[in-house]
Chains A and B, each alone.
Chain A
Amino acid sequence: MSERPLTEHIPTDGSALSLKDYERVGGYAAVRTALGGLQPADVTQCVKDAGLRGRGGAGFPTGVKWALVPMGPEAAKPKYLVVNADEMEPGTFKDRWLLEGNPHQLIEGIILASFAIQAEISYIFLRGEYTVAQERIEHALHEAYEAGYLGENILGSGFNLGTYLHMSIGRYICGEETALLNALEGKRATPRTKPPFPQISGLWGKPTIVNNVETLCNIPHIINKGADWYKSVSKTPNGGTKLYGVSGKVKKPGLWELPLGATVGELMDLAGGMRDGLALRGIIPGGASTDFLGPEHLELQMDFDTVPKAGSRMGTGTMIILDDKTCPVGMIRNLTQFFSQESCGWCTPCRDGLPWLEKTLAAIDEGSGVPDDINHLKRHVKLLGPGMTFCALAPGAMAPLGSALTRFAEDFERHIREKRCPWKN
């Protein structure tokens, strides 16, 4: 059995690890180490050396991100650390496990990251529907304040950190880090112009780091056990383990912590394979906004560098499985409807392009598609691609659509030709 630093202590009965239990298994030791003698730059360097890449989906090296924050007495104040716990990517439920099972691990990560960038204030921006996590984080924050891990002069180190929980009201776009910052400021959740990046001008115009929950949960282990250990638990040059998930019509959908670089096939095995009578047709590897893979990719390693070679991205590492008895057009229609509804409405291509696609896909699905619709969809995949829109939402929506149009071309054409959905009666 490989190491599972992030999840090994999460109680199997569905409860959360208490502060006492967390401390018993080494919790907050990393905070004591860091605040007890490390320089902020040491923490950042250690994270850089460990090769930790952001687990929110984009895979940006975490230490490099932190190193962009202005440091020293001249730097703007206050600085902020913001936890992106707005887990709304379809098919993705990995952060929830960490939030509900071991909130102190996250809080320890927050303290370490805040110390590294010398942030005085941190916010946990939590998905509105995660009410169980809300309760447990509130409780954990209370415990952490009581125990002196948060607040003024933490553990006598002179370092101050206030951590607050903020509940999202529930828009997918809030997961985009700059839209999240706008939402946190009480403004419309529209993404911000970049540059300047949040590291320079983030929350209320001040230097800010936004990190994903899983990313931050890695930090205590990196500090405790070192960069070399961290790299050793991974099958790739990027260190660490990864929470992988499988959903769809498999026998045992679920979530597992595995060495970074586990293969698609290993995950399918853990999920018990397809349900009886169904065959694997397609895989969306990392949340809805990644390109389809297929049955030919079972040997593919799920990591940041390998998946792109197969034409997709690892994303959040939580796969959605398409079987051969489910209509791919219907699936794409459903996804596109989601993205269309979740567009913030700021830029034209996304705001007006996605609803058009949604309507076109609905027409095809319902048997009123016309042959030119395929060209229309293909054109939009290009027009809503990277660089054309203000943020990555629409390009993300184009990933499953674009790959489906290639992979399932015959299915689309058949819908139009037969003027009906072949999967429905």
Chain B
Amino acid sequence: MAIIYIDGKPLETQDGQNLLEACIELGLNVPYFCWHPALGSVGACRQCAVKQYRDENDKQGRLVMSCMTLVTDGMRISVDESESKDFRANIIDWMMTNHPHDCPVCDEGGECHLQDMTLMTGHNYRTYRFKKKTYVNQNLGPFINHEMNRCIQCYRCVRYYKDYAGGHDLDAFASHNHVYFGRHEDGVLESEFSGNLVEVCPTGVFTDKTLKEHFTRRWDYTTAPSVCVHCALGCNITPGERYGKLRRIRNRYNRSVNGYFLCDRGRYGYEFVNSDKRPKAPLKRQMIDGKPVHVPMTRDEALSEIGKFFSNGSKAIGIGSPRASLEANFALRALVGAENFYLGLSKADGKLLSAVLEIVLSGPARQPSLGELKDHDAVLILGEDMTNVAPIAALNIRQSVNNQPRANAKAMGIPEWNDLPVRRAMDTDRGPLFIASVAPTRLDDVATQTFHATPDGIASLGFAIANFIDPQSPAANVSGEVRALAQQIATALQSAQKPLVVSGPSCRSEAVIQAAANIAWALCRKAKPAGIYFAAPESNSVGLGLFGGANIENAAEALRKGGADTLVVLENDLYRRVPAALVDELLSLAKHVLVVDHQYSATAQKAEYVLPGATFAEGDGTLVNNIGRAQRMMQVFNPEGEITESWRWLRRLRAASGKGREDEWISFDSFLHALVAEIPAFSHILDAAPTAAFRVGGLKIPRQSHRYSGRTAMKANVAVSETGVTADPDSPMSFSMEGFSMMTPAALMSSFWTPGWNSAQSITRFQEEVNGPLEGGDPGVRLIEPQPDSAVPYFDAVETNESHDAAWTALPLYHIYGSEELSASSPAVAELSPKPYAMLHSDDARARGLLDGDAVTVKIDGQEISTSLKTNDTMARGVVCLPAGLEDAPYIEFPAAAEILRSVTS
């Protein structure tokens, strides 16, 4: 701790931080631009100048940049002194020489850091009387709008994009006051994290292009804290709604999860919520003109008609979903009975998920949180392309390679926040990162070594590494070359302070997952605090796994046995999970098929009844992320029609069937209590957010800002009287501007605003310390903790079968854009989805007379897939990679034996 004197007042600050951070933590209004909590200080903008005095007798003082000044005990500064104030106002004056005064038509207006800082410095009148300069803007793709004229040259964009996110195609060009930030030519930004430019840019140079289609000012959104549903990481988000449409997604800071950043799938995948194809009322299939057509029915009709199928004595089969909330899955389980509840996973998916859960529930290795990935100093990735499967995890692992080289800077006495010297001291040094995968990954550029092999080859490498660390762990039969690599990796992991092993199900191999466990456990047994981190496929995969239950194939068997008339499919498109023939059979075996979903999926289209479920933005629920962190998402807005949470539909059905009482589980909280009573593994989810009864000063937490406009008029086309506020029985939040928005617990914070701080930069005002947790602690609870004294035995090594028989092994490649069901229907994401392809090693292709771009047919399980050939020089041999989960692509159960034929051109 250091005591510093600011304008004569003694104040406590932390040792080692810079003066700007100290002032921010003390709640002082010191303006800044180039500093960003995740990017550190560079001293470029000169906006944070303050006066520093030698001692109490020094009346003159000198200007210093607070972001570049180390706090020292007894230091004396002034923020209010006139020369420094004048200088700060001048910085704005200079920036404004070329900044267009286009705030009224700028998307950033109202949440613009430049506006805030302009007001803060008191620069009111423009004194520059000459012509402004203009730039040519670029088309940067479907996500980001570019308006260079607004640029104030703070350099944050390139520092974020290149230095932090590892991008290569955004740079600073030209010099003096012609500095230009953009690409070398128009084109889609390559980084999967480009959307963060929108929040990193302190003004309107980079803005959300999808928002432009339905623009809304910051103060006009209805928002609530929510959780991203587009992968399993559970990044915290703030969705914003107006006029019944979801307008955009912004980052919601959570140090333990996503910190300041989102991936582009998470930020831009939201438009499935606004899809016209969604069911908005209960639907019933009827034959009209000989064709099956879904026709809407009222809620009461639906409940009384469908409710009967669940009355006492009748049996229904329920299929849950890894993309539905815990509550929805539980409600289904309660409706059909635990013995008739099936996880909405294929047998193969279920097996991989169980393998992961078994490891993390019984083993000694701890799963770091997403945010903690940045802290590890040696990382091994076994079989995952993290950028495409768990994007923000990849972004954080990218940061981890800096941890060892940072020691160079520390040895030179350079403070951690002093970004440029730290980066120079690190130079091109990188900490250990080893990636074993089937094909190249987007983290390879920072990897110490990459290793491309079949899943068995990857697993064998893993077993060999574990065996090097602890000879008790089963050895694998590997070549000398692989053995040498295994030894190199084992040494790197063992000599690190905090090694981490990352794996997941993308290789479709239990052995890969088990090899990862052996390595982490071997390190633990050698007293290394090793972390283990598994990617998971979907937003609630782990939550579903914790329910336990059988798979879709088992559900089919149960139906085949007879006795069950009804099949309920919850938020699940079965055609994406098991072969179409099996789904067709399932649907035909049941007399009644009910789908509860927010998407009009292929499965829903074939159902007898469809009940319109709520998306994440329209309902409350709990999701459990890949490491078992339970997080609550709050309803953002009231959807149109009969759309409501699946759990609510299922509760209503339960009541209508006579199984449950009408007043049972009326509130979300009583429902949660029932869930926890039934499944103790979930007991901590009650702590994920305050109950609906929670109040601050007797008031609810408003979803709308105190500046929300137009509420007396926005529905005037329907009725001129102001509509009442819809009650929210499920959460302590109100659908209005009324309520208490200060001192809100972090789990209920969706909008970060304090007077004078309207932009994304306001987040520092809500952190306990710069880059620290939100005041009161980050929301979310961990459901899975390691068993440090666990004596769980090692897994046996696989027998590697490297013989190349005639057949190819088909394996999936996941794509951040296109492989995930919900985001794929958002137009901006769809635009970047890959075209179908089959990828082979160049030598494998050449050996069969095939070339890149050739039209080929891939035969798998009797299906013939016509596609175009891609070749790659480094991927595994004997393997054909196909993009996973693309829209309209047939389901393939990977790994599969495949044949590849040159397509016959007619």
Contact = CB atoms under 8 A, between A and B. Distances in A.
Interface of A: 171, 173, 188-189, 192-193, 195-196, 200-201, 204-205, 340-349, 351-356, 359, 363, 376, 383, 387-390
B42 interface: yes
14 contacts: A193-B421, A195-B421, A201-B412, A201-B425, A340-B176, A344-B175, A345-B177, A348-B44, A348-B152, A348-B153, A352-B94, A352-B177, A356-B94, A363-B130
B45 interface: yes
B420 A192 contact: yes
Interface string B118-159: 000000000110100000000000000000000011010000
Contacts of A348: 44-47, 91, 94-95, 152-153
B43 A351 contact: no
A205 B427 contact: yes
A173, A193, A363, A383: residue with the most chain B Cβ atoms closer than 10 Å: A193
A343 B579 CA distance: 64
Contacts of A196: 412-414, 421, 425
Contact of B153 (A173, A351, A356): A351
A343 B44 CA distance: 13
B692 to A, nearest CB: 49
Nearest to A349: B46
A352 B97 contact: yes
Contact of A193 (B97, B179, B418): B418
Contacts of B47: 348
B448 interface: no
Contacts of A195: 421
A351 B46 CA distance: 11
Contact of B425 (A205, A340, A359, A383): A205
A205 B424 contact: yes
Interface residues of B, number: 43
B96 to A, nearest CB: 9
Contact of A383 (B90, B175, B176, B421): B90
B87 interface: yes
Q: Which 3 A-B pairs have the closest CB atoms?
A: A352-B94, A345-B179, A205-B427
B176 A355 contact: yes
Given A205-B427, A352-B94, A387 B175 contact: no
Contacts of A345: 153, 172, 174-179
Contacts of A201: 412, 414, 421, 424-425
Contacts of B44: 346-348, 390
A192 B90 CA distance: 23
Given A343-B177, A349-B91, A383-B90, 20 more contacts: A192-B421, A193-B418, A196-B413, A200-B412, A204-B428, A205-B408, A205-B426, A345-B174, A345-B177, A345-B179, A346-B44, A348-B152, A351-B177, A352-B95, A352-B98, A356-B130, A359-B130, A376-B127, A383-B87, A388-B63
Given A188-B172, A205-B408, A347 B421 contact: no
A164 B204 CA distance: 45
Nearest to A388: B63
Nearest to A370: B129
Nearest to B83: A382
Contacts of B424: 192, 201, 204-205
Contacts of A349: 46, 90-91, 94
Contacts of B179: 345, 351
A68 B179 CA distance: 35
A347 B63 CA distance: 15
A354 B178 CA distance: 12
B62 interface: yes
Q: Quick one: which of B46, B426, B427 has the most chain A CB within 10 A?
A: B46
Contacts of A200: 412
B421 A346 contact: no
Q: Which of A343, A346, A359, A388 has the most CB of B within 10 A?
A: A346
Contact of A390 (B43, B91, B176): B43
Nearest to A372: B127
Nearest to A363: B130
Contacts of A346: 44, 155
Contacts, number: 105
Nearest to A340: B176
Contacts of B408: 205
A342 B421 contact: no
A95 to B, nearest CB: 23
B75 to A, nearest CB: 17
Nearest to B154: A348
A345 to B, nearest CB: 4
B32 to A, nearest CB: 12
Contact of B420 (A193, A363, A387): A193
Contact of B43 (A189, A193, A376): A193
Interface string B211-252: 000000000000000000000000000000000000000000
B763 interface: no
B565 to A, nearest CB: 71
A170 B98 CA distance: 26
A359 B414 CA distance: 40
Contacts of B130: 356, 359, 363
A334 B49 CA distance: 30
B328 interface: no
B420 to A, nearest CB: 5
A70 to B, nearest CB: 10
Query: Which of B127, B177, B425 gathers most chain A CB within 10 Å?
Result: B177
Contacts of A383: 87, 90
Nearest to A390: B43
A387 B412 CA distance: 24
Interface in B54-105: 62-64, 68, 87, 90-91, 94-95, 97-98
B156 to A, nearest CB: 13
A347 B176 contact: no
A376 B64 CA distance: 23
A159 to B, nearest CB: 25
Nearest to B65: A390
A188 B171 CA distance: 10
A356 B59 CA distance: 32
A192 B43 CA distance: 10
Interface in B156-176: 172, 174-176
A200 to B, nearest CB: 6
A193 B128 contact: no
A189 B179 CA distance: 12
A205 B422 CA distance: 9
Interface in B407-435: 408, 412-414, 418, 420-421, 424-428
A154 to B, nearest CB: 27
Contacts of A376: 127
B175 A347 contact: no
Interface in B20-54: 42-47, 49
Residue from B49, B90, B414 with most neighbouring chain A CB atoms (10 Å): B90
Contacts of B64: 387
A352 B95 CA distance: 7
B177 A355 contact: yes
B46 A171 contact: no
A363 B428 CA distance: 48
A141 to B, nearest CB: 26
A33 B424 CA distance: 36
Nearest to A193: B420
Contacts of B175: 171, 173, 189, 343-345
A351 B153 CA distance: 9
A353 B94 contact: yes
A171 to B, nearest CB: 7
Contacts of B49: 388
Nearest to B92: A348
Nearest to A198: B424
A390 B46 contact: yes
Contact of B63 (A192, A354, A356, A387): A387
A189 B64 CA distance: 24
Given A193-B421, A196-B414, A356-B130, A347 B177 contact: no
A418 B95 CA distance: 32
